[in-house]
């Protein structure tokens, strides 16, 4: 790959890291990957992936070339994450694990530093969510979901029967446990406090949003609940 593939990678640096990882694997003659079809970015904490079980369940709902991922690949992914992170040495043990699945259903993993979002305006978060929906249309699950908090309810920009990413399942559970209503309303978010729920970034409230004291407290509850996992 020589040109930047914006449909697969978030940044040119991310693509370069992936290509360098594949080149290293080829030099070591372990295996090589074909064209990437799916890239998952999961936040780490102290050489662990706190939401690993949720991520693996979401991964089982994803497809490559219209077919679900093989069960043995899912088992390998979970075991490889647990074993490799526990034994490996990393510059940033609280970074991001990137798993790449190629068009043939083969997978590889690498670890990189975590970089917070530079632009957290509502427009920027909506743009990221739009790209994630395009990935959902291709693979079955969006890695980031746009939400809004309005009058104490969490409105999720997703269809009622849509499989959700690991972080989104946790946020919905937190909201429901605290007695808040959760509504799925794809394409019809109301005016309210916009936030992005992301496997990589957790809960990211829009920096230019305004909210009532009650809704602001609700958003903080969700953000803090996820952030505690990475503390």
Per-residue model confidence as pLDDT tens digits over 199-229: 999 999 999 877 788 899 999 999 999 999 8
Long-range contacts of 109-115 (CB under 8 A, 24+ apart): 109/77, 109/80, 109/81, 109/84, 110/17, 110/18, 110/21, 111/44, 111/85, 112/17, 114/43, 114/44, 114/200
pLDDT of residue 28: 47
What is the mean pLDDT of the segment spanning 122-137?
95
CA dihedral over 108, 109, 115, 120, signed as positive or negative: positive
Q: How far apart are CA 76 and CA 194, in angstroms?
A: 36
pLDDT of residue 15: 67
* pLDDT over 80 (residue 11): no
- The alpha carbons of the chain give a radius of gyration, in whole angstroms, of 18
**Residue 145 or 3, more confident:** 145
* pLDDT over 50 (residue 195): yes
Confidence of residue 3 (pLDDT cuts 50, 70, 90): low
127 backbone φψ class: left, alpha, beta (φ>0; ψ -120 to 50) = alpha
17, 23 Cβ separation under 8 angstroms? no
Interior angle at CA 154, CA 115 and CA 146, nearest 5: 40
User: For residue 140, which phi and psi values (nearest 5 degrees)?
Assistant: 105, -20
Mean pLDDT of the chain: 86
pLDDT of residue 192: 77
**Residue 7 or 212, more confident:** 212
pLDDT tens, residue by residue, 134-160:
999 999 999 999 999 999 999 999 999
The string of DSSP letters for 97-157 reads EEEEEETTS-EEEEEE-----S--SHHHHHHHHHHHHHHHHHHS--SEEEEEEETTEEEES
């Amino acid at each position: 790959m020589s040109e930047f593939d914006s449909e697969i990678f978030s940044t040119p640096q991310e693509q370069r890291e992936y290509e360098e990882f594949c080149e290293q694997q080829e030099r070591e003659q372990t295996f090589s990957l074909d064209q990437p079809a799916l890239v998952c970015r999961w936040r780490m904490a102290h050489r662990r992936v706190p939401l690993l079980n949720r991520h693996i369940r979401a991964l089982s709902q994803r497809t490559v070339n219209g077919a679900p991922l093989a069960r043995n690949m899912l088992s390998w992914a979970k075991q490889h994450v647990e074993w490799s992170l526990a034994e490996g040495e990393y510059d940033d043990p609280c970074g991001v694990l990137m798993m790449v699945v190629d068009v043939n259903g083969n997978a590889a993993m690498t670890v990189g530093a975590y970089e917070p979002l530079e632009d957290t305006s509502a427009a920027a978060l909506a743009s990221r969510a739009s790209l994630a929906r395009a990935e959902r249309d291709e693979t079955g699950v969006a890695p980031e979901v746009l939400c809004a908090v309005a009058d104490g309810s969490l409105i999720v920009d997703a269809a009622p029967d849509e499989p959700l990413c690991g972080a989104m399942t946790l946020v919905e559970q937190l909201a429901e446990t605290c007695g808040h209503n959760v509504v799925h309303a794809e394409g019809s978010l109301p005016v309210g406090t916009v936030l992005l729920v992301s496997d990589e970034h957790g809960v990211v409230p829009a920096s230019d949003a305004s909210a009532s004291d009650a809704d602001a407290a609700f958003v903080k509850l969700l953000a803090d609940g996820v952030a505690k996992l990475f503390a």
